[in-house]
């Protein structure tokens, strides 16, 4: 038996750091949106063992890959044997703030649950997802948009759509999530990209229906080290985006567009410089026209 799974990327429409926990993780408030940019995984049932291929990438194919660890967790919980051969086709940039690895892990959990006759309930799959990473439970959920708290793993589904079209620009270098969080300091003022520690409607950019707040508290520090990200934001806004923001811990910057022609023109302009690191996407709940 074989199964093909899509693993969508996400963007953070809102991300605030509320504090640091005793275990070293940060308490968050974040709104995440799944988008049509996605990896693809091919799962083939085997009698035993886990094998993983990542063609076209230098990703590890063993314990160093979250996909492998997700499969290992599934079979450990299953306890009755079984195995899988996985082929991971990467399209979502790595270490880009788009949750690609977490989404891949969630797709493996969901896919294996289907291949093996649904031995686990939704709640049990979420429990398997928790130890794998803060974003993995979000991708196990069916919802396209969610407000998440805790370390990002307490999920409340929402029914919103902030834009019709999303332009994503990855500058071609990775940013370590660990570095971002370790160097994060709560600060205000002195930098045009710092909007303030507390949420204030007057100094937070808004996007989409209901003037959703568009905010990322990690952005200022990351732009401070990589000012190119600020220039990308400015260029997206100049291209007609009604909002632009760094996603997650970066470095991918996205622009929200309501006009398809403007979005496609912006993609073409950025592609002249960043090539295949520029993507046109839509909210996952929107019928894709790409």
**Residue 198 contacts residue 189 (beta carbons within 8 Å):** no
**DSSP codes of every residue in 158-219:** E-----SEEEEE--S----HHHHHHH-----SSSTT---SS--GGGSEEETTTTEEEEETTH
Q: Is 49 annotated as a binding residue?
A: no
Q: Is 154 annotated as a binding residue?
A: no
Q: Is 261 annotated as a binding residue?
A: no
**Residue 267 contacts residue 280 (beta carbons within 8 Å):** yes
Q: Is 176 annotated as a binding residue?
A: no
Length of the chain: 290
Q: Is 86 annotated as a binding residue?
A: no
**Residue 285 contacts residue 209 (beta carbons within 8 Å):** no
Sorted by sequence, the CB contacts under 8 Å of residue 200 that are 6+ apart come out as none
Q: Is 98 annotated as a binding residue?
A: yes
Q: Is 73 annotated as a binding residue?
A: no
- Torsion from C-alpha of 215, 92, 175, 18, nearest 10 degrees: 30
The residues that are catalytic are 10, 135
The Cα angle at residue 281 between residues 237 and 162, in degrees rounded to 5: 60
Backbone angles phi, psi at 147, to 5 degrees: -95, 125
Q: Is 194 annotated as a binding residue?
A: no
Q: Is 93 annotated as a binding residue?
A: yes
Q: Which residues are annotated as a binding site for ATP?
A: 93-103
Q: Which residues are annotated as a binding site?
A: 93-103
């Amino acid at each position: 038996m074989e199964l093909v799974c899509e693993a969508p990327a996400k963007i953070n429409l809102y991300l605030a750091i509320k504090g640091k926990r005793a275990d070293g993780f940060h308490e968050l408030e974040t709104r995440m949106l799944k988008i049509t940019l996605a990896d693809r995984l091919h799962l083939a049932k085997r009698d035993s063992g886990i094998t993983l291929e990542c063609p076209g990438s230098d990703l590890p194919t063993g314990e160093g890959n979250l996909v492998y660890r997700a499969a290992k967790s599934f079979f450990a919980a299953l306890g009755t044997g079984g195995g899988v051969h996985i082929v991971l086709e990467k399209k979502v940039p790595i270490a880009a703030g788009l949750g690609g690895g977490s989404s891949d892990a969630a797709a493996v959990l969901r896919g294996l649950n289907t291949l093996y006759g649904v031995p686990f309930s939704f709640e049990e799959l979420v429990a398997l997802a928790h130890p794998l990473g803060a974003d993995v439970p979000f991708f196990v959920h069916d919802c396209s948009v969610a407000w998440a708290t805790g370390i990002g793993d307490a999920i409340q589904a929402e029914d919103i759509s902030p834009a019709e079209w999303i332009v994503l620009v990855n500058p071609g270098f990775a940013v370590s999530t660990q570095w971002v969080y370790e160097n994060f300091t709560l600060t205000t003022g002195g930098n045009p990209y710092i909007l303030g520690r507390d949420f204030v409607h007057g100094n937070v950019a808004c996007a989409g229906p209901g003037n959703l707040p568009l905010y990322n508290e990690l952005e200022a520090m990351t732009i401070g080290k990589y000012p190119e990200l600020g220039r990308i934001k400015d260029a997206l806004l100049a291209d007609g985006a009604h909002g632009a923001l760094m996603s997650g811990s970066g470095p991918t910057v996205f622009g929200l567009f309501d006009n398809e022609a403007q979005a496609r023109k912006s993609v073409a302009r950025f592609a002249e410089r960043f090539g295949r690191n520029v993507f046109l996407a839509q909210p996952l709940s929107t019928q894709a026209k790409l």
